[in-house]
Structure 1
């Protein structure tokens, strides 16, 4: 940012808002950096201290993110002012990072009225602490399947971020910028928020109405409306799979036409594509939950554990039991 950048006049003479960033084990650097930089740029653009922040970790020791970079922190977990907002920064293996100490601390601070936000996968930590019961929330799309299975009392959305009272969740990545721009706009007006976005070279600001994943046509590189509709139906019906004949009928074509579409655009049959979707969800559940293999099989539309194991081994060249065991071993290293 140029030292001669225009100052945006903001009518603010009160106490700066303070955010307390909690760096959890293996947190995602991008989410944290995007959030804190948005606050820094807001201060500089306004020419005054609108926001302050504090960086903490569970034990007050240096925190290492998932890319291996290490950050010094200001302190460990401590009692906060009621006007503070906690921002939990998490990433991979959030179940392991959501320790009893962190859960108890955020429960205590929540009872005192402190606002709490979760970046990337930290919505899991908030839900595990019971702070999202009866509320809307979001989490990174890779964790959606496991989250939905474990926290039925939470209304899970696919939005880039969700603000439900003083509980905030984001989907990760650049969603931190979208959230911060919204908060800056709420606190100090659209002009300042838009100036922050401009300085970040962030020209496509999303709202809580935007979803985090690319559309199906963009994701698969195919712009065929009927094929996209069938894939959407498959993704929405994993636990109780729909037959190719019914899928074809629902979009107004024959089973043979549907087969040809899948072969032409995706080089596989509808049955094979559907199976891969189900197995992908199964792998997510094995990695991210404590669900039994039998329950994972049922959640992904397999009538028996033996059939599930056979299909899983054929696709991933390992059994569900070994997959879970090797994942647990990697976590313990």
Structure 2
């Protein structure tokens, strides 16, 4: 199967949520590996396709490409050979999946975006895995689509690309686009594609091969539940933390948090001290600083924009508390990260 037929594509355009047809990954599948891509994101998909071919009557086919046709080093420095340059693709494949790493946007170019738009116009399903969604979004290729991205990059993505409907699901199929959060979510994405095309029995066989105890729905969250992450079980404390995580840009006061969970400020403070050994304000600040740190490393947003996106009223205050926590300023963090990856490149402010 190469690309979508007209009936399927028309169905994608009209439906609000994907059905079994919408979960398909048409073959052949071309992977575009960006430098320092995350290996687990790639091989979760590739290995699931390989095992599926043991059982399916029609085979999934795929090939690996890079921007220049040369081997690509993953984020661990391991070189992976590719078949050809992405620009040299002569025939539109059924699916193109771009696999991103730390700085996907650095590889944007008019030529790449032109190629991707042409492929989309020919019926190719376009997708991004892990962080490659940022590259697609810069080119306007995710405008108006429901999209997911790795949770570390979600805040920066939401701030910059408001034309997309961002979720924090494991994967999203939306018409002629597919996005996957990376990690082991690629296995689940492929399992749903297998089920859509070949039935649940084969999908279960593939899942069991990986000792994958169940096939996760795309709508499941990427991160551990609050209970597991903080090892707490008090319902009102859990709800307070979830409210904090949902309101980082405009932080709630301790009084507002307490009121939302039907406690007094004193009772809420006592809960935080008892279970987490910090005050609500200290815990909230830690959440905001950790989110800011992720945005400094994983986005090209200005430090000032990051400060406001994480609820700080001034850049000077943000820089001061950031330095107190991490030992260096936000700009120094970014310069170190850029120097590590690109020794000759200057970091954005």
Question: Is the structural similarity TM-score above 0.5?
Answer: yes
**Structure 2 residue 79 is the aligned partner of structure 1 residue 70:** yes
What residue number does 2:60 align with?
51
Gaps of 5+ in 2: 1-25, 344-349
Aligned-pair CA distance for 1:101: 4.4
Question: Which one of 110, 116, 124 corresponds to residue 126 of structure 2?
Answer: 116
Aligned-pair CA distance for 1:303: 1.5
Question: Which one of 288, 293, 316 corresponds to residue 303 of structure 2?
Answer: 293
Local SS of the residue matching 1:327: helix
**Structure 2 residue 277 is the aligned partner of structure 1 residue 272:** no
- CA distance in structure 2 between the partners assigned to 1:124 and 1:17 by the alignment: 24
> Would the aligned equivalents of 2:37 and 2:73 in 1 still touch at CA under 8 Å?
yes
Q: Write out aligned runs for 1:32-181 (5 A).
A: 32-46=42-56, 48-77=57-86, 78-82=88-92, 84-181=94-191
Aligned-pair Cα RMSD in Å: 1.7
Aligned-pair CA distance for 1:93: 2.2
- CA distance in structure 2 between the partners assigned to 1:268 and 1:80 by the alignment: 59
Gaps of 5+ in 1: 1-15
**Structure 2 residue 251 is the aligned partner of structure 1 residue 247:** no
Q: Write out aligned runs for 1:286-325 (5 A).
A: 286-325=296-335
- CA distance in structure 2 between the partners assigned to 1:296 and 1:275 by the alignment: 14
1:141-198 deviation per Cα after TM superposition (whole angstroms, max 9, x unaligned): 0000111111000000010000001200011111000000111111111121111111
> Would the aligned equivalents of 1:30 and 1:174 in 2 still touch at CA under 8 Å?
yes
Local SS of the residue matching 2:178: strand
> Would the aligned equivalents of 1:62 and 1:71 in 2 still touch at CA under 8 Å?
yes
Local SS of the residue matching 1:178: helix
Comparing 181-190 with 94-103, greater Cα deviation is found at 94-103
> Would the aligned equivalents of 1:103 and 1:125 in 2 still touch at CA under 8 Å?
no
> Would the aligned equivalents of 1:159 and 1:209 in 2 still touch at CA under 8 Å?
yes
- CA distance in structure 1 between the partners assigned to 2:281 and 2:40 by the alignment: 38
- CA distance in structure 2 between the partners assigned to 1:134 and 1:49 by the alignment: 33
1:289-312 deviation per Cα after TM superposition (whole angstroms, max 9, x unaligned): 333222222211111222112211
What residue number does 2:235 align with?
225
- CA distance in structure 2 between the partners assigned to 1:33 and 1:145 by the alignment: 26
- CA distance in structure 2 between the partners assigned to 1:68 and 1:79 by the alignment: 26
Local SS of the residue matching 1:103: helix
- CA distance in structure 1 between the partners assigned to 2:266 and 2:169 by the alignment: 36
> Would the aligned equivalents of 2:156 and 2:301 in 1 still touch at CA under 8 Å?
no
- CA distance in structure 2 between the partners assigned to 1:51 and 1:80 by the alignment: 19
Matched positions, count: 317
- CA distance in structure 2 between the partners assigned to 1:313 and 1:41 by the alignment: 48
> Would the aligned equivalents of 1:80 and 1:109 in 2 still touch at CA under 8 Å?
no
- CA distance in structure 2 between the partners assigned to 1:143 and 1:167 by the alignment: 19
Question: Which one of 186, 190, 193 corresponds to residue 183 of structure 1?
Answer: 193
Comparing 283-292 with 191-200, greater Cα deviation is found at 283-292
- CA distance in structure 2 between the partners assigned to 1:214 and 1:38 by the alignment: 23
